[in-house]
Amino acid sequence: MSNEKKILNTSVEKAFKILDCFSINDQELGVTELAQKMGTNKSAVYRMLATMEALNVIQQNPENGRYRLGLKLFELGQKVPINQNFIAKARPYMEALAKQAGETAHLAIYKNQKVYFLDKVVGRHDLQINSQIGSEKPIHCTGLGKIMLAFGEPNYEKVINSLNLDSITKNTITNSKQLISEIDKIKGQGFALDLEENEIGLVCVAVPVFNRRGQFIAAISTSGPSARFNEDEIQTYTGDLKNTALELQNIFS
């Protein structure tokens, strides 16, 4: 019994070592790369990958033969209750962001291909924004959602092509090719804009939040009326958001 338990634990340990090899900078890896990162031989990695692929924990990209994290991990993640400790730790930084910007700040995660709001801190301008903690919004017409597509969804082109790109306002992007181009741009610049795409008169700036291992965990944003969000202000808000994201990165492993 003890030997069987030891073998099982070793297999589980190897599986988690494979999972830990992936990050925001290494979303797809080949067998040779995985073997090098783990300090083991390729045949051992092949065997583990075959099992993990059968369980949909790992997926192979048919175009290049490289591997990426599978949807099973996302499904399991949705079964975990929202970690109140996560929200509590982030809250002081969100309050500081809202105070500094004077606008409403949001903290959200990617859930069921939608934006799920974890926290909301109203700025001194006290603008009434149609968002509530625990509510969901589409990912294609929100700054937070675009960030999630760019940094939380390795196969974002496939996801976008499967989405119902409903028109929420006259500014909503409803063309899949245009949205894919927008996400490509966001990946390069590190922030996303919602220019009255979800609500007329409302502009949102959003950035990704990573943990210390470089894995995407959430998105944060600042929202306010279009009259106050001119080009100069957007640059200021983006800087504030990126600084807050770095502070949050330091507290999450």
The pLDDT tens digits of the residues spanning 31-87 come to 999 999 888 899 989 999 999 998 889 999 888 999 998 878 766 765 555 556 788
Task: Give the pair of three-digit tokens for residue 235.
Answer: 């640059």
> For position 46, which CATH number holds?
1.10.10.10
Kindly state whether residues 173 and 201 are assigned to the same domain.
Answer: yes
Burial class (CB in 10 A: 0-12, 13-18, 19+), 74: middle
Per residue in 97-112, pLDDT tens? 999 988 899 999 998 8
Which tens digits make up the pLDDT trace of 203-242?
Answer: 999 999 998 888 899 999 998 888 887 777 888 899 999 9
Instruction: Say yes or no: 21 and 135 in one domain.
Output: no
pLDDT score of 6 more than 90: no
Assess whether 71 and 92 both reside in one domain: no
Q: Does the global pTM surpass 0.75?
A: no
What range does the domain containing 97 cover? 82-249
Same domain for 138 and 105: yes
Residues 230, 151 share a domain: yes
Phi, psi of 9 (to 5 degrees): -65, -40
Euclidean distance between CA atoms 184 and 170, whole angstroms: 22
Q: Residue 55 corresponds to which amino acid?
A: L
Identify whether residues 106 and 212 lie together within a single domain: yes
Are 206 and 93 found together in one domain? yes
Q: Are residues 63 and 127 in the same domain?
A: no
pLDDT at 79: 59
What CATH number does the domain containing 99 carry? Answer: 3.30.450.40
How far apart are the two ends of the chain, measured CA to CA in Å?
A: 34
Total tally of structural domains belonging to the chain? 2
Check whether residue 156 and residue 55 sit in a common domain.
no
Domain identity same for 53 and 130: no
80 CB-near residues (< 8 Å, 6+ apart): none
